[in-house]
Structure 1
Amino acid sequence: LQSAAYEGDVEIAEYLVKLGANINAPPSGNNGLTALGCAVERAHVKMVKYLLQLGANVNDQHTKIQGETILERSLDCSIEYEWPDRTEIFELLLNNGAQISGPPRRRCEHWNSALTHLVSGPVEQRLFQLVLCSGADVNQAGGGEGARTPIQAAAESGNLSIVKELFNRGAEINFPPAVSFGRTALQAACCNKRPDMDLVEFLIDKGAEINAPAGIKGGLTALQGAAIRGHLGIALKLLDAGADVNAEPADIDGRTALDGAAEHGRLDMVQLLLNHGASDDAGGFATAIKLAKMYDHYAVAEL
């Protein structure tokens, strides 16, 4: 039945159900899916409707190793299907008792909320408003590596209008980063590959903490993120706003702003940071020079 649901074959599914197939049979293996989970994963609207009519469990965990519920997974931007189908499936699940905000504790620790999933990529406004009006918690943090709150995810994707809407609805702009590869909203905006200065300015104007500490593993401050990416304009804005040029790096896999810029060969950025008094942990430049030479950035090392 799960295979039929995955393929969207309602006729085969009906036949199997007549033979006694369990529509809520548990998934096999760590990555297995329930029948409803399969239908949602593949955006088979007719199959979703059929399974819901038979009483499929809408609040089941998506897989054994993913903590998301089926509804949360339906909004995951990594699933490629059309917005009308995504919206219809979301409404079907919601109208059949799916919880918009899943449980805070999960069998598996890796998960993100429905709203976080939705705003992690391009957003269709009707669905966004529908999720908000359904009671989604704008401050629900996920769990596990790289977990985000909705506003952190929206800032990371560079979506200013969504960030504004979330902020206006009470999203905490300084929600701390997740322990592993976490980002505050400002940190996420500053380390974006294509940062939006208007977004950075909005966050700063609304009270984003310039020197919020880096997450424990793989974290970074806003300035460290801008330095590593080589975003001179963003770095200047942060420095003008009081960013600490020598802020402590993450405890695990962290870099100071200078070390990160040197490691990635950001010559202009290194010069900017030096002009603002940057040094490494020992008060000199040994680490930055070592990292620059390690990746053949000899011009940077000579600075």
Structure 2
Amino acid sequence: LHNAISLSNEEAVKFLLLNNANPNLANGRGSTPLHLATEKHLKPLVELLLGRRSTNVNAKDEDQYTPLHWAAQSGDEAITRLLLDRGAAINEPDGQGRTPAHVACQHGQENVIRVLLSRGADVRIKGKDNWTALHLAAWQGYLGIVKLLVKQAGADINGQTVDGRTPLHLASHRGQYRVARILIELGADVQMTTAGLNTP
């Protein structure tokens, strides 16, 4: 089944599923056929796999990524919607505690963030070292996502990482000055200090 998906062979996938191929069997990376079809943006194959009631939409690979994490990372809005329609866990953490929203923010996938927010994603969840989706967007300099998270999603603009850094600290440190300016305009506290007593 993995090989048929790797070759984008829809007929072979149909044939194998009709002959009871296991849609949840993982390869050496822990990826199920659904992970693979999502990674490769093969929406028709994702639909075929999700057509089997036994397909686990929340299966995790070796990095603890679900198919929804892969769709979020690659910016595939259509597959994101499809997975959510079939019960994908919207706030499921990966091995680093990152939800699909974290991953979409880290990779600048604003279209997917909009879908996730419209379906109730919680952007206040803290991943490893207490990084939120807003910390990742500020660090990477994704201005549109930063605005969206603060204005529409209620992200904590002054949330601190384990070492005390706010999104403003991170944007300033990385030279993301447009993001820093917007954060200040939106109410970021310029006096907050990190564990090392540094202000932004």
TM-score, length of structure 2 as denominator length: 0.79
Pick from 45, 58, 66 the counterpart of residue 127 of structure 1.
45
Identity %: 30
Pick from 220, 225, 228 the counterpart of residue 139 of structure 2.
228
Cα 1:245/1:283, change in 2 over 3 Å: farther
Q: Match for 1:185: what amino acid?
A: P
Q: Offset at 1:152?
A: 1.7
TM-score, length of structure 1 as denominator length: 0.55
Q: Encode CA deviations 1:246-298: one digit per residue, 9 max, x unaligned.
A: 324368xx964234323322011122234422434349535x5xxxxxxxxxx
Q: Offset at 1:243?
A: 0.7
Query: 3-state SS of the aligned residue for 1:285?
Result: coil
| Cα distance between partner residues in 2 of 1:222 and 1:262 | 17
> Is the CA contact (8 Å cut-off) linking 1:121 and 1:157 kept in structure 2?
no
Q: Match for 2:155: what amino acid?
A: A
Q: Offset at 1:82?
A: 4.6
> Is the CA contact (8 Å cut-off) linking 1:113 and 1:140 kept in structure 2?
yes
Q: Which residue of 2 aligns with 1:47?
A: none
Pick from 245, 265, 269 the counterpart of residue 179 of structure 2.
269
> Is the CA contact (8 Å cut-off) linking 1:220 and 1:255 kept in structure 2?
no
Query: 3-state SS of the aligned residue for 1:83?
Result: coil
| Structure of higher RCO (CA pairs closer than 8 Å, 6+ residues apart) | 2
Matches within 5 A, 1:247-286: 247-249=159-161, 256-275=166-185, 276-278=187-189, 279-282=192-195, 285-286=198-199
- Structure showing greater Rg: 1
> Is the CA contact (8 Å cut-off) linking 2:90 and 2:100 kept in structure 1?
yes
Cα 1:215/1:142, change in 2 over 3 Å: farther
> Is the CA contact (8 Å cut-off) linking 2:165 and 2:194 kept in structure 1?
no
Q: Which residue of 2 aligns with 1:169?
A: 86
Pick from 156, 160, 163 the counterpart of residue 77 of structure 2.
160
Pick from 196, 207, 214 the counterpart of residue 110 of structure 2.
196
> Is the CA contact (8 Å cut-off) linking 2:98 and 2:126 kept in structure 1?
no
What residue ranges of structure 2 are gaps of 5+ in the alignment?
Answer: none
Q: Which residue of 2 aligns with 1:244?
A: 156
Q: Encode CA deviations 1:166-204: one digit per residue, 9 max, x unaligned.
A: 1111111111x2233x531211222224x234x322211
Q: Which residue of 1 aligns with 2:34?
A: 115
Pick from 139, 147, 150 the counterpart of residue 58 of structure 2.
139
